[in-house]
Amino acid sequence: MASAPFVSLYRRYRPGRFSELRGQDHVVRALQSAVRDGRVSHAYLFSGPRGTGKTSSARILAKALNCEAPVDGEPCGVCASCLEITAGNSMNVHELDAASNNGVDAMRDLVAHAGLGTPGRWKIYIVDEVHMLSTAAANALLKTLEEPPSHVVFVVGGTRSTWEEAFNDAKSSRDRTR
């Protein structure tokens, strides 16, 4: 008897479609409309306390943007792209935990790879815990957010009180050096 690979609870029960998100109706409407109507922004900022669906929303958005057959802005969940994103092995979606990779080298690496082509329609970078970035790393990320490659979408998430401080510190630092 072959045993199924272990899947942690948070991955097993993480929403995989916009319709499965709870308590974020305004976010669902906005993101589905953007995907459905082709009004995709180059960057999205998700903020809020832990457990409010920031990372889940980012992953669903990534899935919807690269889905081969989206229905009304919702990912189909069965095409090759959706399955790869769900499995975590898509070449089109890159997740970075800024709490663990908060230095300027991690951001420089991300920036260097952002310009490279992608096999899907969009290359999506999900930067979680963005408030944990160092000032130098936030500067590197801000530069790319200001002038992103046309095929790249950034989704950054963090707690409101701290990401505002981090990016304001980075912007202040950059303004002083100009």
* Tens-place pLDDT, residues 19-66: 999 988 999 999 999 999 999 999 999 988 888 889 999 999 999 999
Does 7 map to a domain? no
Q: How confident is the model over 72-103, as pLDDT tens digits?
A: 999 999 999 999 999 889 999 999 988 888 88
Does 1 map to a domain? no
Does 2 map to a domain? no
Does 79 map to a domain? yes
Does 111 map to a domain? yes
Does 57 map to a domain? yes
Q: How confident is the model over 8-28, as pLDDT tens digits?
A: 666 677 899 999 999 889 999
Residue-number span of the structural domain to which 71 is assigned: 16-177
Domain at 160, CATH number: 3.40.50.300
Is the pLDDT score of 113 beyond 90?
no
Total number of domains in the chain: 1
Does 10 map to a domain? no
Per-residue pLDDT band for 69 (boundaries 50, 70, 90) equals very high
Helix (H) or strand (E) holding 104: helix 104-114
